[in-house]
């Protein structure tokens, strides 16, 4: 277990019951050290998204608490802590009609004044950073003014990654970031997330359905079932017996259907 100062995220006895009675997390405790690429596996409905969404306050625990970089999440600390957290979504969550540049710079919104946010007058430093990130994630200068919805799925996720890293986040939450991408693009996207995170020392909490990708990219794999941790170890420890235990009778999840549009181009 790492010392307090080296802990990025700590979940302490977290319960989550949604208003309709669904129990998503059931007494979960987990400590994620700084700089770790921690993959969350588990069957559908196991609680992976809920766990991730709690770190930036999109879901609130019914009991228990979460610390981010040693600070407990609460109404007073959340706005400040959110500036330290970037999120990458399964469906990219871009503004479809806005340009690539506008989508990337939107990652800085938590750190700019309301006036700047409303007028879109971002400081030159942020605009320069957005341009640098767009290049870092492998997009071309010609993409800057393109509408986000004119890009392939892989390219859209590159925009999502650039946006997530705009404020040099301590923590990246990636909620099934490659669920709708073909296998090759999935590897490219996870390579990019890992590279950008490593270069900044960012901690990554990433939910995945693909066991091979979890093994390839994770420093540590945590598997959930019905809101509890049922596996926690290095990728090498995820053997057939562990997988059978996580996914029960159904074994490994089958290949994810790839929408034609996204399979066509990374
Ligand atoms: N907003 C919500 N309102 C009510 N119940 C919810 C809500 N979000 C999730 N749940 C329930 O909480 C449980 C955990 O859901 P969650 O989305 O966290 O799981 P998951 O492991 O991410 O699933 P998937 O792999 O399908 O995305 C499920 O029973 C789900 O139906």
Partners of 65 in the beta sheet? 12
Q: What residue ranges define each of the domains in the chain, with the CATH number in brackets?
A: 1-84+171-266 (3.40.50.300), 91-168 (no CATH)
Task: Determine contact, residues 52/68, Cβ cutoff 8 Å.
Answer: no
Please give the model's pTM, rounded to 2 decimal places.
0.90
Ligand 1 binding site (Cβ under 6 Å of any ligand atom): 18, 20, 22, 24, 42, 44-50
Cα 30 to averaged position of ligand 1 atoms, centre (Å): 19
* Per-residue pLDDT reduced to its tens digit, 162-205: 999 999 999 999 999 999 999 999 999 999 999 999 999 999 99
Distance CA 210, CA 73 (A): 30
Q: Which of 49, 176, 228 to mutate to test the pocket of ligand 1 (most atoms within 8 A of CB)?
A: 49
ipTM of the complex: 0.97
Nearest atom of ligand 1 to the alpha carbon of 49: 22
Measured distance CA(253)–CA(129) in Å, rounded: 39
Q: pLDDT digit string (tens) for 52-96?
A: 999 999 999 999 999 999 999 999 999 999 999 999 999 999 999
């Amino acid at each position: 277990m790492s010392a307090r100062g080296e802990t990025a995220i700590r979940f302490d006895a977290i319960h989550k019951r949604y208003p309709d009675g669904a129990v998503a997390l059931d007494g979960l405790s987990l400590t994620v050290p700084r700089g770790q690429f921690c993959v969350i596996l588990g069957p559908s409905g196991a609680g992976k998204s809920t766990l991730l969404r709690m770190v930036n306050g999109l879901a609130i625990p019914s009991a228990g608490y979460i610390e981010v970089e040693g600070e407990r999440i609460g109404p007073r600390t959340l706005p400040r802590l959110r500036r330290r957290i970037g999120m990458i979504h399964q469906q990219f969550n871009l503004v479809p009609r806005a340009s690539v540049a506008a989508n990337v710079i939107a990652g800085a919104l938590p750190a700019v004044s309301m006036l700047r946010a409303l007028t879109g007058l971002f400081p030159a430093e942020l605009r320069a950073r957005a341009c640098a990130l767009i290049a870092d994630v492998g997009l071309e200068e010609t993409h800057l003014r393109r509408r986000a919805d004119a890009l392939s799925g892989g390219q859209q996720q590159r925009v999502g990654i650039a946006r997530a890293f705009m404020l040099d986040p301590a923590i990246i939450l990636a909620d099934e970031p490659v669920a709708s991408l073909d296998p090759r693009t999935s590897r490219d996207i996870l390579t990019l997330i890992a590279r950008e995170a490593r270069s900044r020392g960012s901690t990554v909490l990433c939910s995945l359905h693909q066991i091979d990708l979890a093994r390839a990219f994770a420093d540590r794999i945590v598997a959930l079932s019905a809101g509890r941790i049922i596996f926690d170890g290095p990728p090498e420890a995820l053997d057939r017996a562990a997988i059978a235990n996580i996914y029960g009778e159904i074994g490994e999840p089958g290949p994810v259907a790839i929408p034609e549009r996204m399979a066509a181009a990374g």
